[in-house]
Structure 1
């Protein structure tokens, strides 16, 4: 298979926001308990946070971490998670059928985020919660002092305000599975009034209203239109969520990027319709604040227990490749997708996995996420790609090889991310960078292997990993690279002066 990609310096798509490399931790399963927090663990610090996990999160350079939910959010009272730990109530988490001890709350999580080198994107309860509850939480977190809620934060050991800037106004309120699910009009009205109170408390915050939880819901995209008609002038982002899983056809699964691409385009079109309808000058940006591979069909019921092992998908090399296609899609929509949260971060459908009292390791999806986070910050360019198409059952014809290219102007570096989705054909790929003048390849890596079912584990943590391979030389900035069948590739270049 022959492929040609031409990357032109002036063909810019959009600036990548650091928040595109964000993630998500919900009070769910072992994401918090024995994930980020495990007092008594050999690596635990003085607050009980696992330092081995903190180092892995730092390595990923996560921009924001959305917290505390998720479905958990719509039945959660944030006041249960503050104050002396021994005084916090134990509650039923009805969303996930678990026991919640509230050992971790907003103050604790902000402390953890600082240690992990990231920031919090907080979320307010739009199920059982009220607009007043949301405004009180903003006051507790962000007001300097001298009021009941801000003084309580100070009493609880945090003199300086948390200054949380980004706030999700509910979670998946379009979903019938959500506690106190609302229809679009009722949610839109409630969200508008909630945002008013939140921004009257702190005018510097930015808010995310709930868009569609899935393109498969019958309310999509009408839900988004109605919500935006109520909130367009007060909201800063609309959220979208999408998960994928292998339903038994590898070619369909590897083409998940196509479905994600169409989802984003439809969401943008819906936003732009409301922009025209409301005569607004503002372009609504997207917060793709839940995305990943999630084998939802494998969920099983469990008894009422604390921190059960639920949603603990163990990812294969094949999963990592499909994941890479989604990462490329997000980069290629950097002009409109300004926040994206990999859901989730630790243990629960996550790139990082831990064992209680033992070690931690990197799951297969860790590597493409780390690649785009490390090398994908800059200006996305729109490559001109000529490649073969392959026919899939779910999506028809889709390109067999996909690309994203990012130019880091201050370093004069170009990174090309490439995914070859063909399981049996390598791609003889020509990469033309001649518009940049003289260049040299400075780095090249690939993620591939003969066993697409290979998975990492505590006992075998390197079964799947990125491998650096020799760079390719060129005298005219046109490079000939072989992209192996079923491979994720990173190729980095430096512009010579």
Structure 2
């Protein structure tokens, strides 16, 4: 078994890991909201304001810090006024992706009340594709203003006396479907100008950036928008299982990708290769933004990220099942986000329920937690902790002429306690780790491990096939922490002096 040395130095602090890096995305499409998160107040499934109680509890158990809504592509055809007022009077919505007719029973009140119940930040994407500037400005007034206006009277009539809090807003979503970068830059200026702040509710403004590795779009867009008019640029990082990021385009994400449950070893490593490129993508996009804007403090918001494969059910939008493969990739990506936390404002996993890289699946009154859910559970104490220096000696696997690092980690500190999260993405090699902690004496350690064959996944009949278990196979001696990191595994360690 090959030995790798890991160094952790709690005295080298690198800034806070913003909790919003662990956000979730609920798009008004497929079975994400309707049939997933939201069942309606009259459902026999236990619910609070129509939102499933088991979903609420699952979110609370991983301290979901941010919810991103209503889209996605749906945002640019979403008209908020159709989703407020008595539910029987709301106008149906024709979903732009599926042409399904939805009854708009989950709208502004339901979304913001859910965020309040969870204690998380709402992240709202405005419609600049088919809405007017006035419609968008009125929505902000409806949500955040405390005075006496037509919009606030309507909010009170609909049952909400006081305004909600709203921090994160983005102007539009996939603008490349319907206009040029020049057109979007002009729309951003107009819509943002009338996105007013009311009272002490301060807005963080996001510029809708490009997909994946489209550096020329970042360069073009950053040169068209006034520096200082946005706090962060969004970045879309969907991870397919085809080599070299193939099958991705500015016209709709992955076109070609393998299955979510049946896949080859080569497809696994292709997805991992694409995931690990996110680190370099962050650097290149930020470099362009800094050069174009002259602002070294501008950040990125990776508000759509996760694996994306072939749809399992032709009739159900984005239907996929998450396996141990996706847990490994999610853990590796979250380690990247933690290490790059000074450069990132927020991130949201795409999608949260019943679609794409989901953490939850529902069927009737049943709920199952996917392997990806347990990664978020194991990593949750990184939220708002202080990132500290860590280094892993490198070992690689060769794929498509590239060397992919097998092991990654990130370490954070809260008070006197450290959380170290380690992932071994190799399918062939176990590693003997020797963890050094200079300037710090580790006397207590508790661990969890998530591992399994990479095709294994949780089902409604077998919901705990992939489940974290206590990890105790470690030794603390001579100032070192020694352990075996098995192939295809994720370990979280809570360390105390």
- The two structures have a TM-score, normalised by structure 1, of 0.90
Give 1:402's aligned residue: 408
3-state secondary structure, aligned to 2:9: coil
Structure 2 residue 388 is matched with structure 1 residue 381: yes
Residue number among 236, 239, 256 corresponding to 1:244 in the alignment: 239
Give 1:305's aligned residue: none
Give 1:332's aligned residue: 339
Give 1:206's aligned residue: 204
Structure 2 residue 383 is matched with structure 1 residue 370: no
Residue number among 222, 232, 236 corresponding to 2:216 in the alignment: 222
Write out aligned runs for 1:15-94 (5 A): 15-39=16-40, 40-45=42-47, 47-94=49-96
Residue number among 279, 288, 305 corresponding to 1:270 in the alignment: 288
Check conservation: 1:166, 1:206, Cα contact below 8 A. yes
Structure 2 residue 359 is matched with structure 1 residue 351: yes
Residue number among 410, 416, 420 corresponding to 1:416 in the alignment: 420
3-state secondary structure, aligned to 1:8: strand
1:201 is displaced (CA, Å) by: 5.5
- Distance in structure 2 (CA, Å) of the matches to 1:454 and 1:148: 54
1:118 is displaced (CA, Å) by: 2.2
1:27 is displaced (CA, Å) by: 0.7
1:300 is displaced (CA, Å) by: 6.7
Between 1:265-274 and 1:381-390, the stretch displaced more is 381-390
Runs (5+) with no aligned partner, structure 2: 243-263
- Distance in structure 2 (CA, Å) of the matches to 1:491 and 1:365: 18
Check conservation: 2:197, 2:203, Cα contact below 8 A. no
Q: Deviations over 1:433-481 (max 9, x none)?
A: 1222x112421111112x2211101111000011111163424431111
- Distance in structure 1 (CA, Å) of the matches to 2:449 and 2:345: 27
Write out aligned runs for 1:81-230 (5 A): 81-174=83-176, 176=177, 181-199=178-196, 204-215=202-213, 220-229=214-223, 230=225
Q: Deviations over 1:297-327 (max 9, x none)?
A: 337764xxxxxx3212111112211121111
1:430 is displaced (CA, Å) by: 0.9
Check conservation: 1:445, 1:468, Cα contact below 8 A. yes
Give 1:283's aligned residue: 297
How large is the Cα RMSD of the aligned pairs?
A: 1.9
Between 1:36-45 and 1:84-93, the stretch displaced more is 36-45
Aligned residues: 469
Structure 2 residue 307 is matched with structure 1 residue 293: yes
CA 1:435–1:172: 2 relative to 1, 3 Å:
farther
Q: Deviations over 1:145-167 (max 9, x none)?
A: 31111211111100010121111
Give 1:9's aligned residue: 10
3-state secondary structure, aligned to 1:103: coil
1:381 is displaced (CA, Å) by: 2.2
- Distance in structure 1 (CA, Å) of the matches to 2:232 and 2:434: 38
- The two structures have a TM-score, normalised by structure 2, of 0.90
Give 1:310's aligned residue: 317
1:257 is displaced (CA, Å) by: 3.5
